[in-house]
Amino acid sequence: MSSTAGQVIKCKAVSWEAGKPLVIEEVEVAPPQAGEVRLKILYTSLCHTDVYFWEAKGQTPLFPRIFGHEAGGIVESVGEGVTHLKPGDHALPVFTGECGDCPHCKSEESNMCDLLRINTDRGVMIHDSQTRFSIKGQPIYHFVGTSTFSEYTVVHAGCVAKVNPAAPLDKICVLSCGICTGLGATINVAKPKPGSSVAIFGLGAVGLAAAEGARISGASRIIGVDLVSSRFEEAKKFGVNEFVNPKDHDKPVQEVIAAMTNGGVDRAVECTGSIQAMISAFECVHDGWGVAVLVGVPNKDDAFKTHPVNFLNERTLKGTFYGNYKPRTDLPSVVEKYMNG
């Protein structure tokens, strides 16, 4: 049993206002309640989603708040009823969860848990609608149930995946968001066949993970699409072997790709959030069997516009959430794949 179990822990982290510099202050972290876990965060990374909500763009601001949702740590203590985790376990907190009881969790096709699906507006714990963070009695709100920009955090147990203690937490922490999102979008949703062609729109971290998924799947042509040509060299390390910069052409990129591939690619994965990139990804897949998967999150006012004939010609459009991975069930095996090279 941890020497701090059941006690309030004082540590550092907080964001007071939207768009203002993050302030490092002493925060009190209460013990976990029933169904919760308190984690000591050892490594955390920065995702663009953290920046988006810190800037308070397009949503109701909720401050003061502790951001962060890509991280790795060690279980410090567990609340009543938590049986799959114990103090000392290595774990990844995830912004979405797996209660194990709802129709989504029982389905082999979905990871969108009814109870623990991501909620960006909720800054409190589900158990009692209270926060576990405070400064001199003032509540400090949680962010997507994780708040990993803190030395300690409290997370619902259904949002914590136990992982191999031999896995380096400084490397695998990114699996708790962007990398699994891109990797799973290709492997679990697009499902390219060996020898097939895949177009990846956007070569940031998520797009590179999607490209890696295409490489693992055995795709022979992996076409990277990005407005920043300097990203192309790095993308080669992840299996991308052809590149298209839309700015280099005087016609829509979907037409460029169709001309390159005798009518279109077999699969396309969009990882930018640009509505035009989403449309291009769909319209660049081959009729009859092409599948496009949307990963990026568009502006809330954007509208997807394409001709209905594109669907009638048997192109398929899919969306994905966290790469269709169930956090507790699937993340440990993804970590093992990393460990096995």
In the chain, how many domains are there? Answer: 2
- Predicted confidence band of residue 301 (pLDDT cuts 50, 70, 90): confident
Q: What is the pTM of this model?
A: 0.92
Closest CA to 198 of 261, 277, 273: 261
| 338 in any annotated domain | no
Q: What would the mean pLDDT of 53-72 be, rounded to a whole number?
A: 86
Same domain, 165 and 16: yes
| 266 in any annotated domain | yes
Same domain, 23 and 163: yes
- 7 or 332, which is more confident: 332
Same domain, 52 and 144: yes
Closest CA to 340 of 162, 89, 92, 172: 172
Domain end: 128, 143, 176, which one? 176
Give me the half-sphere count of Cα atoms (radius 13 Å) on the Cβ side of residue 48: 10
Same domain, 167 and 198: no
Same domain, 150 and 224: no
CB 91 within 8 A of CB 72: yes
CATH number, domain containing residue 28: 3.90.180.10
Same domain, 194 and 171: no
Same domain, 240 and 288: yes
Predicted pLDDT of residue 202: 98
Tell me: cis bond preceding 64? Omega within 30 of 0 counts: yes
| 328 in any annotated domain | no
Q: What would the mean pLDDT of 55-63 be, rounded to a whole number?
A: 78
Render 136-162 in DSSP notation, one character per residue: TTEEEB-STTT--SSSEEEEEGGGEEE
| 282 in any annotated domain | yes
| 189 in any annotated domain | yes
Q: How many residues does the chain have?
A: 341
| 37 in any annotated domain | yes
Location of structure tokens 């380096």: 168
| 135 in any annotated domain | yes
| 286 CB neighbour count, 10 Å cutoff | 21
Same domain, 183 and 51: no
Same domain, 152 and 228: no
pLDDT tens column, 240-274: 999 999 999 999 999 999 999 999 999 999 999 99
pLDDT tens column, 91-134: 999 999 999 999 999 999 999 999 999 998 899 999 999 999 99
Same domain, 149 and 221: no
Q: What is the domain range of residue 144?
A: 9-176
* Beta strands 26-29 and 133-135, pairing class: antiparallel
Q: What would the mean pLDDT of 36-59 be, rounded to a whole number?
A: 88
Same domain, 208 and 219: yes
Side chain identity at 153, as an amino acid letter?
T
Q: What would the mean pLDDT of 67-92 be, rounded to a whole number?
A: 97
